[in-house]
Amino acid sequence: MSTQVVLLGHGGGGRLMAELIERVFLPRLGSPELARGDDSAVLPYPGGRLAFTTDSFVVEPVEFPGGDIGRLAVCGTVNDLAAGGAVPRHLSAAFILEEGLPLDLLGRLVASMAATAREAGVRIVAGDTKVVPHGKADRIFITTSGVGPIPDGIAVSGRNARPGDAVLCSGALGDHGMAVMVAREGLGFAGCIESDVAPLNGLVQTLHALGPALHVLRDPTRGGAAAALNEIAAQSGVAIRIEEGAVPVRDPVRVACELLGMDPLYVANEGKMLAIVAPEAADAALAAWRAHPLGREAVRLGEVLEGPAGRVTVRTAFGTHRVLDRPLGEQLPRIC
């Protein structure tokens, strides 16, 4: 890390962020749970394993087509717990408010959190509020944490991908990132692109029946599917190959990405899940997802290969291959 200061890209879910974690956080905190690099920690408690996770949300604008920072803050933590194989139960919410924030906006955002929590079947049981002077924050930042039990027989981790496994994706990619981008920049796609932000615990739990055939779950947020697949390939020491023709992208998102020179595989999602399952379980998993309202467009995206370890490739319609690099930072800051 040649820089001496924090850069925007350090928060982007890409290589810069990985460097920050590896060079600043891990050597000092030295906790095996952090070093695993999964979306939530697995804690051994007397009554069974608990998942525990946290995320701060700083999205700008705070309200965008399809959602707002409140819905995002609940879904982000619910989905991280779900990606840990857990049944999300209890959330905390800590607010950092900028002096002068309109109370009616705050009320709307809290109502949105409450509605999303009901939708997800979780409860917000602990909270905190801090206020900083005008100009020392940007309206509202929300940090949620969550806990939930991991059912017996479920053991997912980014380390569990095995050669031959199938890579599944629960639906179209890039909606959240492009919706926020369009709202922030006032681009002309308003009305066409909505964030996919949604609680995915119900969708994910349809895969719990697979038991040990369910190897990896990850929600492709910052850095998009490209960052998530690269993380998994590195954690598991495998290669992953996806089929370009299988990547689900809605037309308005595809057009917006082309105009802006972006690749939907690198754009953040907040309502999609990636699953890696044993090959013999792939059809059952896909069928289970497609029967769920949030998984109707689920696809088999590709497969896990022996190596080279950490390499993710895309096979094009022409049969050629290109490397899908880990992004450096995030193309769109403050996306979540």
Restricted to residues 5-34, the positions that interact with a second copy (CB under 8 A) are 5-12, 17, 20-21, 24-25, 28-31, 33-34
Give the one residue of 22, 61, 121, 132 binding a second copy; rule: CB under 8 A.
Answer: 132
In the chain, the amino acid numbered 7 is: L
Residue 30's contacts (CB-CB under 8 Å, 6 or more residues apart) are none
Q: What's the min distance (Å) between Cβ of 195 and a second copy?
A: 18
Task: Give the span between the Cα atoms of 286 and 297, in whole angstroms.
Answer: 10
Among 15, 63, 131, 208, binds a second copy (CB under 8 A): 131
Of the candidate spans 2-10, 227-235, 239-247, 273-281, the one that interacts with a second copy by CB under 8 A turns out to be 2-10
Minimum separation from the CB atom of position 59 to a second copy (A): 9
By the rule CB under 8 A, 291 interacts with a second copy: no
Q: Which is nearer to a second copy, 3 or 316 (CB)?
A: 3
> Which lies closer to a second copy via its Cβ, residue 121 or residue 237?
121
Of the candidates 32, 142, 23, the residue with the CA atom closest to the CA atom of residue 93 = 142
Interface residue with a second copy among 69, 75, 113, 178 (CB under 8 A) is: 113
Q: Is 270 in the site for a second copy (CB under 8 A)?
A: no
Closest approach, Cβ 143 to a second copy, in A, equals 4
Tell me how far apart the alpha carbons of residues 289 and 300 are, in angstroms, rounded to a whole number. 11
Nearer to a second copy (CB atom), residue 117 or residue 301 = 117
Residue 51 Cβ vs a second copy, minimum distance, rounded to whole Å: 9
Task: By CB under 8 A, name the one of 15, 63, 65, 97 that touches a second copy.
Answer: 97
Contacts of 328 (CB under 8 A, 6+ apart): 9, 12, 14, 15, 16
Specify the residue, 87 or 275, whose C-beta has the smaller distance to a second copy.
87
For residues 73 and 192, is the Cβ–Cβ distance under 8 A?
no
2, two tokens: 């040649």
The SS3 of residue 294 is helix
Footprint of a second copy on residues 51-70 (CB under 8 A)?
52-58
Q: How far is CA 94 from CA 70, 148, 239, in A?
A: 11, 18, 39
Structure tokens at 102: 């309109």
Q: Which stretch binds a second copy (CB under 8 A): 127-135, 181-189, 245-253, 278-286?
A: 127-135
| CB of 76 closer than 8 Å to CB of 272 | no
Region 233-262 residues binding a second copy, contact defined as CB under 8 A = none
Q: Which of residues 307-336 bind a second copy (CB under 8 A)?
A: 333-334, 336
Are 80 and 219 a contacting pair, CB within 8 Å? Answer: yes
Place of tokens 């509202």: 140
Establish if 152 lies at the interface with a second copy (CB under 8 A).
no
| Contacts with 226 (C-beta within 8 Å, 6 or more apart), sequence order | 263, 265, 266, 312, 324, 325, 326, 327
User: Least CB distance from residue 305 to a second copy, whole Å?
Assistant: 30
Does 93 help bind a second copy (rule: CB under 8 A)?
yes
Asked if 127 interacts with a second copy (CB under 8 A), we say yes
Pairing of strands 214-218, 321-323: unpaired
Closest to 270 measured CA to CA, from 143, 122, 171, 168: 171
Listed ranges 106-114, 173-181, 235-243, 320-328: which one lies at the site for a second copy (CB under 8 A): 106-114
